[in-house]
Amino acid sequence: MRELSLRVEELTRERAAQLRAGDRVLLSGTVYTARDAAHKRIFERLDAGEAPPFPLEGAVIYYAGPTPAQQGMAVGSCGPTTSGRMDPYAPRLLDLGLRAMVGKGDRDDAVVEAIVRNGGVYFAAVGGAGALIARCIRSSQVIAFDDLGCESVKRMEVEDLPLTVAIDCQGNNLYRR
């Protein structure tokens, strides 16, 4: 296992190809939050021929619904949600340019195949550590679906967000060793 610092804008297909399942990564840069309800609305936009609420090319989606900010913090607790609920959506988003996903738990075979096909990566964040993860978030702004509350799509700036490569673009999977 390696320990790496990585900026989102450096996470190209070529850079993702260098990551291996088990690598520990401190991720910094812009990530977008989206859970089930937001994914459903993103797909409604895509199906209607409209643009998603953020550019998918090279993007990182964090499967989280941050709670309201506490004093002096950008958000309250911001732990990962179970990624499997987004499995029906992930292959299409990866095919449209999504580079990485952050969540917890295994992914189905179609998602793993899409990760491999598109040179993507799936990062695991530690579940149950939402208050600690929140310390890595420097800013948070709702950019779509405000009516969804904590499940709205947010643009967040993170610094040294601690993650583990759970599924790399060769298909190596920490959940299936």
> Which domain CATH number covers 68?
3.20.130.10
pLDDT tens digits, one per residue of 54-63: 999 999 999 9
Do 144 and 53 contact (CB within 8 A), yes or no? yes
Max Cα-Cα span within the chain: 43
CA atoms within 13 A on the CB side of 46: 15
Show the domain range for 171. 3-176
Do 79 and 130 contact (CB within 8 A), yes or no? yes
pLDDT tens digits, one per residue of 89-119: 999 999 999 999 999 999 999 999 999 999 9
Question: How many separate domains does the chain show?
Answer: 1
Q: How confident is the model at residue 164 (pLDDT cuts 50, 70, 90)?
A: very high
In the chain, % of residues over pLDDT 90: 91
CA atoms within 13 A on the CB side of 62: 33
